[in-house]
Amino acid sequence: MIDQAKVRVLLLESIHRDAVTRLEAEGYSVESVRNALDEVELIERIQGVHLLGIRSKTQVTAKVLEAADSLVAVGAFCIGTDQIDLHAASAGGVAVFNAPFSNTRSVVELAIAEIISMTRRLTEKNALMHEGVWDKSADGAHEIRGRRLGIVGYGNIGTQLSVLAENLGMHVSFYDTADKLALSNAHRCASLEELLETCDFVTLHVDGRPGNLGFFGADQFRRMRRGSLFLNLSRGIVVDHVALRDALASGHLAGAAVDVFPTEPKGRGDEFVSELRGLPNVILTPHIGGSTEEAQSDIGDFVANKLVHFVEDGNTTLSVNLPGVALPEQDGMSRIVHVHLNTPGVLAKVNSILAQHAVNVEGQLLSTRGEYGYLITDISGGYSDEVLDQLRNMEQTVRLRVLS
C-alpha cells in the first residue's frame, strides 16, 4: 500500500500547473521539470518515482521501465502514446493514461488558421510589411471557399476539422485505413492516391506508430496536384522532410505548414534544425498544435485525475494499455488490485486462496484485454500477509497492489 504522503510524482516538459495543483492536493510530493529527459537522464531520475508525467518528447523505453522500481502509472499529457513502450508497461503492471480529446479543438483551429494563412499568403505579406514593402496585390491570394480539403486520418481531430472546414464552405475528402463514418457531406476516398490527386490541400492527422515511419514521401508528394498545399500536425516521423523540401523548391507544391518534426529540441530556446528552414512558402511552428492555455489546462486536469483515481481506487477507465475497470467504492472495505496474465482459471484461483483463509469478498470486478487481465476485489474484515504472499506468488501474477 502506498502512503499518500510518500507518493512521488515526476512531471516533465512543463506540464500545466493545474496538474501539479491537483496532485499536490492529494498530498503527493510533486517535482516538475521544464524540459524532456533522454533515456539515460530518465533512468537516473525514475527510481523511487510512483507516477511519471510526460508529453511528446520524452521516450519511456523498456530500459526506463525496467529501472523504475516504484512506478505504478505513466500519464501522457497529450494525445499520442507512441513515445511509451506500452508492451513493457503492461508486462510490469504499469498503467498508462493519456488525454485523447482535450486538445482536439486547439489542433483543429491551428490547421484552419494555417490553411487560411497560406491561401491568402499572409506570412509573405507580413514579412514584406516588416521590411517596409507595401505590396497590395491579389496575385496568388485565394478564398478557401469552394476548394477541397483532403484529410488523411479521420479520427478525433480529422472529423472535427472536417466539420469546421465544411462550415467555412470547403469541400472535404478523407482517407482512413479504418472504416469511418463520413460526417455531413465529407467524401470518403477509396485510396490515398484518390485523395492526393483530387484535393487542393492535404493535411495529415495520423499516429506515430512504427509502421507510419516515412509514410508520406516523394511518391506521395508527386501525386499531389501541382500548386496544392500540405500540412502536417500529427507526428514528425511520418513525413520525409527532404522530399517535402524538394517538392516545395521545385514549385510542385505552393506551400506547406509543419508543426511536428522527426527530431525536435528538448526545450525552449534550444536550436531548431530542419531542412525546411529558410523556405519562404513554409509555415514552421514549434509543435504547438495542442499548446493553448485552454487545452493544456484541460489536459493537466484530465490526466492528473486519471492518475489519482488509479492510485486511490485502482480505476483504469480509459487506460491505454490495461483493461478498463471501475468498481464503486464501499466504506470499510479493503481493496486488492491484481494484474495478471490472461489465462483460464485465474479468478477461480484468487477466490480459492481467499476462501482458504476465510476472507469475505464484498465486491469484485474483472476485465481482460489481450494478454492481460485486471481484477479488483473488495474484502471485509482482516487478512493475513500469507494471503497477499500467495496471491503474489501465483504464476499468472504480474503485479499486486493493496489500496486500503
Q: What pLDDT digit, counting tens, does each position of 172-196 carry? A: 999 999 999 999 999 999 999 999 9
- By residue count, the chain amounts to 404
Beta bridge partners of 232: 204, 258
pLDDT score at 3: 64
Any catalytic annotation for residue 340?
no
Q: Return the closest-CA partner of residue 241 out of 193, 206, 280, 284.
A: 284
Active-site residue flag, 44:
no
Q: Alpha-carbon distance 121 to 123, whole Å?
A: 6
The single residue listed with the C-alpha cell 530500459 is 63
Question: Could you say which architecture CATH assigns to the domain 1-102+292-322?
Answer: 3-Layer(aba) Sandwich (3.40)
Active site residue 235: yes
Measure the CA angle with vertex 82, ends 374 and 310; round to 5°: 35
Q: Which residues lie below 8 Å from residue 43, measured CB to CB, with a gap of 6+?
A: 63, 64, 67
What's the pLDDT score for residue 1? 57
Q: Which CATH class is domain 323-404?
A: alpha beta
Q: Are strands 8-11 and 29-32 parallel, antiparallel or unpaired?
A: parallel
Kindly name the residue from 166, 264, 312, 329 that is annotated as catalytic.
Answer: 264
Question: Which among 16, 235, 335, 338 is annotated as catalytic?
Answer: 235
Please identify which of the residues 45, 205, 241, 287 carries the catalytic annotation: 287
The pTM score is: 0.85
Single-letter code of the amino acid located at 44: E
Per DSSP, the three-state class of 104 is helix
pLDDT for residue 268: 82
E strand intervals along 189-227: 201-204
Q: Which of 36, 98, 84, 121 is nearest to 290 (CA)?
A: 98
Would you state the pLDDT for residue 5? 66
Q: What is the pLDDT of residue 4?
A: 62
C-alpha cell at 161: 476539422
Q: Which CATH class is domain 104-284?
A: alpha beta
All CATH 3.30.70.260 domain ranges of the chain, comma separated, are 323-404
Residues 308-349 pLDDT 10s: 999 999 999 999 999 999 999 888 899 999 999 999 999 999
Binned average pLDDT, 10 residues per bin, the chain of 404 residues: 79 96 96 95 97 95 97 95 96 96 94 97 94 94 97 96 98 96 97 98 93 95 98 96 97 97 88 94 95 94 98 96 95 94 97 96 96 97 93 98 90
Residues of the chain with CATH 3.40.50.720: 1-102+292-322, 104-284
| Helical ranges in 212-356 per DSSP H | 218-223, 241-249, 293-313, 346-356
